[in-house]
Amino acid sequence: MKAFILDRYRKKGALRFGDRQEPSPLPDDVVIAVRAAGLNQLDSKVRDGEFKLFLPYRMPLVLGHDVAGTVVRVGANVRRFQPGDEVYARPRDGRIGGFAEFIAVDEADVAHKPGNIGMEEAASLPLVALTAWQALVETATLKPGQKVLIHAGSGGVGTIAIQLAKHLGASVATTTSTANIDLVRSLGADVVIDYKTQAFEDVLSGYDVVLNSLDAKTLRKSLAVLKPGGKLISISGPPDPAFARTQRLNWGLRQVMRALSFGIRRKAKARRIDYSFLFMRADGEQLACIASLVEDGGIRPVLDRTFPFAQTNEAMAYLETGRAKGKVVVTLDDA
């Protein structure tokens, strides 16, 4: 099969287009003929080697954390899927590989594709929708009437998180640039902060939850908008001791994580705010819930641009400009 292959960690390095052996299913696997694959900043960070301490992939590696396609084979233990099913998935860490014609994915990480959207839209959803779900539903336990600030509202996670928070009954504020104000309002944002002209920490106060995907400076400033008992959830770091435990890192790495997050945890504790770092996980059951929300109109995918599979490197470069509104997807219909 054809695939885009990472031979070694290299910052902003191009992926090699080449041949890989088509996967055979393990007993719990489904093999998916990939029709579309979503791109994420996580792909760039893995390529650059930023996560090699706790995601030690063996090279050569095929990147790609979001897929949508058709099941072509199933393992002996698989019961929920059969050849011909249209599905979408975020393959678990250690088994990524969406930038290829075929991928084997554990059945537990797969869900039937929402029936009212196409493959490209479905491929845009898994990682960002699972991130939003695990941040707002699991970690924040967001309730109707609560107030949540979602940073970078026009980004991949932000566009879905705004919609999910509104579905949960929350009041939503978001930060974005002037050019994207209309977009985030159309997704349901109640308060929009244009970061080019306003300082969000001077405008907002008394919030229950902040979802941060930006830099350390924004993370620190976010403490000021939360009320005592509020929750500060970051998907961009720094990782905390709880994350180190869930990843089963060795003692040395656990101490590194503790040190990296010490400053923000101390500041949060002084304000009686709960800080947590979220590194999303694959979950097919949650994807099934998200598919139902999409079919009911509670969430709509936001695609910025699609590229043909042959232009995967160009798609990666475009994603890294930071200008995308929503998600960037490659389609394999031409493969």
180: pLDDT strictly greater than 80 = yes
Identify the residue whose tokens are 């503790």: 258
335: pLDDT strictly greater than 50 = no
What's the predicted TM-score (pTM) here?
A: 0.96
Tokens representing residue 283 in the block: 């979950």
Give rounded-to-5 percent helix, strand, coil for the chain.
35, 25, 40
Please say whether the beta carbons of 87 and 73 come within 8 A.
no
Give φ, ψ of 100 to 5 degrees.
-155, 165
Q: What are the residues whose beta carbons fall under 8 Å from the beta carbon of 323, sequence distance 6 or more?
A: none
Model pLDDT, residue 334: 53
Identify the residue whose tokens are 């845009």: 124
Domains contained in the chain, CATH given: 2-125+301-331 (3.90.180.10), 127-277 (3.40.50.720)
Q: Are strands 327-331 and 29-39 parallel, antiparallel or unpaired?
A: antiparallel
Q: Is pLDDT larger for residue 242 or for residue 295?
A: 295
Report pLDDT digits (tens) over 62-98: 999 999 999 999 999 999 999 999 999 999 999 999 9
If 0-12 CB within 10 Å is exposed, 13-18 middle and 19+ buried, where does residue 180 land?
A: buried
244: pLDDT strictly greater than 80 = no
Query: In which element (H, E) is residue 307 found?
Result: strand 303-308
Model pLDDT, residue 54: 78
Kindly write down the DSSP assignment for every residue of 94-126, as one continuous string.
Answer: T----SBSEEEEEGGGEEEPPTTS-HHHHHTSH
Model pLDDT, residue 257: 79
What percent of the chain clears pLDDT 90, i.e. is strictly above it?
A: 87
Report pLDDT digits (tens) over 257-287: 788 778 898 999 999 999 999 999 999 999 9
Calpha distance 320→317 (Å, rounded): 5
3-class DSSP state of 43: helix
Model pLDDT, residue 259: 82
Model pLDDT, residue 253: 79
What percent of the chain clears pLDDT 70, i.e. is strictly above it?
A: 99
Calpha distance 213→210 (Å, rounded): 10
- The mean pLDDT of the chain is 95
